[in-house]
Amino acid sequence: MDPFIQLVSFGLLAAGGNLLGGFLITKSQETRQTKLRYLIAVGAGFMLAAVFLEVIPEVARQWDGQLGVAMSWLLAGYLLIQLAEHTVAPHFHFGEEIHTEEMLRRGAATTAVIALSVHTFFDGVAIASGLLTSFRLGFLIFIAILLHKVPEGFTVASIMLSSGRGTRAAWHATLLIAAATFAGILSVTLVKPAVIYTLPFSAGVTLYVAASDLIPEVNHSGGTRTSLLIFAGVALFYLTHLILHEALGE
């Protein structure tokens, strides 16, 4: 398959995940919190495994001997999301937004949505950086990111609804984060030589999302079953990896 077609179709699918999440919250009366929490847990495990077992070893190969510099890029990506989601935005967490009082504060919903679009932009950057390195890496990062895309759309739509805005505003916010994902893909495609930096940087973002956005949300609601699904996510990564290995014969 043509690499550009791969990039565009993976981008559209990832952005589509966001739209599906937004659709679920604006169209359904009953919340789907439990199922989404399962998805968040599986996604977190898969993302962690992808960063530690695929992305960092690849970064180490590319940076040969200068891993310290590469890891500074990774740390910078991690810290960017702490800055956007929890320093600039006064209130943000994954999962359904139910703290109406917090959300009614001036600018709280807007900054949360902007913070989330910074994050989704780098979801796109991560997918493209992976794909431009190798199909296997790109595919694994794509699945890792895709698994949290529906809960992400759900999150952003619920932020708008709980801040007193209507369904239309919830849709606009969902479209914004979906478009940011796609913009992330396109930007890396335009500056391919930057991949050596964007790969570790976006891995830092992915690490933040898995370990500091998704896992706290899993732990907040508690429960053995949900927590076990993080391990299931890691197992799913191994399985996907194995299948790819067979299919691509590497």
Binding site for Zn ion (CB under 5 A): 97, 99, 123, 152
Ranked by CB distance to Zn ion, the top (closest) residue is 99
> How many whole angstroms separate alpha carbon 120 and alpha carbon 143?
14
Tell me how far, at minimum, the Cβ of 134 lies from Zn ion, in Å: 22
Q: How far apart, in whole angstroms, are the C-alpha atoms of residue 65 and residue 87? A: 34
* Least CB distance to Zn ion at residue 248 (A): 26
Shortest Å, Cβ 92 to Zn ion:
8
Shortest distance, position 249 Cβ to Zn ion, whole Å: 31
CB of 2 to Zn ion, least distance (A): 26
Between 54 and 63, whose beta carbon lies closer to Zn ion? 54
Q: Whole-number minimum distance, CB 247 to Zn ion, in Å? A: 26
* Residue placing its CB nearer to Zn ion in the complex, 197 or 208: 208
Shortest distance (Å) from residue 17 CB to Zn ion: 9
Pick the closer one to Zn ion by CB: 133 or 155.
Answer: 155
Is the Cβ of residue 67 or residue 93 nearer to Zn ion in the bound state?
93
Measured from the CB atom, the residue of 152 and 217 that comes closer to Zn ion is 152
H, E, C per residue of the chain: CCHHHHHHHHHHHHHHHHHHHHHHHHHCCCCCHHHHHHHHHHHHHHHHHHHHHHHHHHHHHHHCCCHHHHHHHHHHHHHHHHHHHHHHCCCCCCCCCCCHHHHCCCCHHHHHHHHHHHHHHHHHHHHHHHHHHCHHHHHHHHHHHHCCHHHHHHHHHHHHHHCCCCHHHHHHHHHHHHHHHHHHHHHHHHCHHHHHHHHHHHHHHHHHHHHHHHHHHHHHHCCHHHHHHHHHHHHHHHHHHHHHHHHHCC
Nearer to Zn ion among residue 163 and residue 240 (C-beta) = 163
Nearer to Zn ion, 6 or 117 (CB): 117
Alpha carbons 212 and 115: distance in angstroms, whole number: 14
